[in-house]
Amino acid sequence: MTGTVATWLTQEAHDRLKHELDELVLQRPVIAAEINARREEGDLKENGGYHAARDEQAKMEDRIRKLQELLRDAQVGVRPADDGTVEPGMVVTIAYDGDDSDQETFLLGSREEGTHGSLQVYSPQSPLGAAIRGASKGEFREYALPNGTIQKVKIVDATPYAG
């Protein structure tokens, strides 16, 4: 499949990320004041506090941008169809190399979803996620591992995440 895949988020994850974004935006004046205070200490070349505050500001602004992008394009709480086709928001079980005893179950969604107990979360943009998107139960797909070898997996099950 080609094209951009919208990020799938539960309402809980969306609310948590929105809260994080609001908190970061509220911190902007605090960081700006810290930078100004450090700037007034004198020589900027030798001012470690100033450079540390600038680094913190850059990291914070980067996170704000990422959160704004993620939340703007997210599909929130939309349950995918329960038709056995793999798409973001599905709990997927795969079997490796046609060995039905070597299985893995995970949520296909944003890593921002965080933890769901023992349920792993894989991104739809990951090599595995991209390979299995659009696949149906019983279908085989292949993807490249980091070492260059090809891994074959069978879709054992795909059901909408229920929370």
Q: How far apart are CA 48 and CA 36, in angstroms?
A: 13
Contact (Cβ atoms closer than 8 angstroms) between residue 157 and residue 92? yes
Residue 1, pLDDT > 70, answer no
Q: Which tens digits make up the pLDDT trace of 98-127?
A: 676 789 999 888 777 765 557 888 888 899
Q: What is the pLDDT of residues 12-60, one digit of tens each?
A: 888 888 999 999 999 999 999 988 888 887 777 777 888 888 899 999 9
What's the whole-number average pLDDT of the chain? 85
**For domain 8-76, is the CATH number 1.10.287.180?**
yes
Which pLDDT score is estimated for 5?
Answer: 62
How do the domains of the chain map onto residue ranges? 8-76, 90-160
What number does CATH give the domain 90-160? 3.10.50.30
